[in-house]
Amino acid sequence: MVRHPADPLTTLAHGIGSQHDLPISPFYAFAGAFAALFVSFLALGLLWSTSRFRGDRSGLALPAALQRAVDARATRTALRALGLAAALTVLLHLLLGPDDPARNPAPGAVYVLLWVGLVPASLLLGPVWRRLNPLRTLYLLLSRAPRHHGPDRPLPARLGQWPAAAGLFAFTWLELVAPDPASTTTLLIALALYSTVQLLLAARFGERWFDDGDAFEAYSALFARLSPLGRRHDGRLALRNPFHGLDATPERPGLVATVCVLLGSTAYDGFSDNPSWIDTLQTSPLGRTPTATLGLPASIALVATLYCLCAAATRLVSGPHPGPLTAFAHSLVPIALGYLIAHYFSLLVVEGPRTVIMALGTDNAPEPLSPLGPGGLAALQVIAVVTGHVLGVTAAHDRSVRLFPPAKAVAGQLPLLALMITYTIGGLSLLLN
């Protein structure tokens, strides 16, 4: 059965629901996108010959009094208590509330306020989930219990962000593929499993496990790289050009996988509304869930394969480099951000307030409406996708002129430009289908 796009279950499971027939011309959308990419590429090649981004060595230090307040123990304790209280509230709603996402705020709290709302929160305030994470708080409380506690085992360096990539894949599978993702039983089982795994691994490796092992901390930290608030290498809280923060993204194992999961899962979310894919799910001899379970990783694998081919072509054109895969992975972050805005803006501004209204128990509250009409939403989606790719081209160009000789830096970016065009075609096709 195909639910109506206004059905809350459909909304929660598939982002903003149906995106067909947006009131914008595909010709003008693609023409504008290609023009923006080509003009930015030519301008960068002609005017940007040396690297300008300095990573965590840049930024205007904020007043020391403000930093002391941000880093104060009372502030950290209050934020941890807030995160733990929110988690307990969601748990109580799952245990005691109705199994109906139209009357229970818990599914909206997980799929909207956490998954989608964490993006703008991290863009504005930095890696906020590190301070709010209830699992980190629970681990700290449990680790203070009177018992023997041996030294934490070191995390293998090769592990990197692979656990976070796996956790993000599991969450997107739950959101986009699971038969009943908004069911209280489904959410309780998923949250219990995830919490147990995280706490057991933290008990083995210590608190630092959450930095890369917790999917939502890694997710928040990744988009916080584009925040105007950040930390310099000396620990000072600073205002910075977001490109500097993006340039400071650590080249860790699993970084490419993490970004590709975000890109591929968002692409699958858009494609899952396509009538041909809906027909495939309904008629597949494997059944809906197994077929969708194959479709989600296939989408992620396609995104990753294209990026790996691009990295190989860049190395072939520009010369050898010790880390061709991770060297330009940071340039995919603004692209992922653009896709997330395009797909989930409407979900956040409509379902977010509705979730809060339900949580507050407000009776007879008016149904929240999107601040943008269909035309405004379509324009926002196209602008978000194109802007994300232009920012990605800029970040990749700056890294290229730093790593390669001037004669090869621009030529080495041709594969990256081809990749950006391919991603743009795919992203806009999903939105304008």
CB atoms within 10 A of CB 371: 11
Find out whether 171 and 187 touch, Cβ atoms under 8 Å: no
- Per-residue pLDDT 10s for the chain (433 aa) are 333 334 444 444 443 334 444 556 676 677 778 788 888 888 888 888 888 898 888 889 999 999 999 999 999 999 999 999 999 999 999 999 898 888 899 999 999 999 999 999 999 999 999 999 999 999 999 887 655 455 567 788 888 899 999 999 999 999 999 988 999 999 999 999 999 999 999 998 988 899 989 999 999 999 999 999 999 988 899 999 999 999 999 888 999 999 999 999 998 988 888 888 888 988 889 988 999 999 999 999 999 999 999 888 888 887 776 666 788 899 999 999 999 998 888 889 888 888 988 888 766 556 666 677 777 888 888 888 889 989 998 998 898 888 888 778 777 788 888 888 888 888 888 777 6
The DSSP code sequence of 251-288 is: --TTHHHHHHHHHHHHHHHHHTTSHHHHHHHHH-TT-H
Tokens 């009357």 correspond to 103
Q: What is the enclosing helix (H) or strand (E) of 21?
A: none
Question: How far apart are the C-alpha atoms of 404 and 400, rounded to whole Å?
Answer: 6
Q: Are 15 and 344 contacting, i.e. CB atoms less than 8 angstroms apart?
A: yes
Query: The whole model's pTM is what?
Result: 0.88
Residue 418's CB: how many other CB atoms inside 10 A?
14
What sign results for the dihedral spanned by CA atoms 386, 391, 393, 394? Answer: positive
Query: Helices 374-403 and 288-318, interaxial angle, to 10°?
Result: 40
Q: Per-residue DSSP letters for 361-386?
A: T-TTPPPP--SS-HHHHHHHHHHHHH
* Cα 130 to Cα 199: distance, rounded to the nearest angstrom: 15
Please calculate the CA angle 132-136-141 and round it to the nearest 5 degrees: 110
Q: Are 257 and 4 in contact (CB under 8 A)?
A: no
Q: How many CA atoms lie within 13 A of 59 on its CB side?
A: 29
78, 258 Cβ separation under 8 angstroms: no
Task: Give per-residue burial for 247-274: e unless 16+ CB within 10 Å, then b.
Answer: bbbeebbbbbbbbbbbbbbbbbbbbbbe
CA–CA distances in Å: residue 68 to residues 76, 174, 237, 250, 306: 11, 40, 10, 26, 45
The conformational region for residue 160 under phi > 0 = left, psi -120 to 50 = alpha, else beta, is: left
Tokens of 243: 């490109």
- The residue among 61, 221, 199 whose CA lies nearest residue 139 is 199
Residue 59 backbone dihedrals phi, psi, to 5 degrees: 125, 145
176: left (phi over 0), alpha (psi -120 to 50) or beta: alpha
Q: Are 213 and 130 in contact (CB under 8 A)?
A: no
- Per DSSP, the three-state class of 421 is helix
Integer Cα distance of 1 and 413 in angstroms: 46
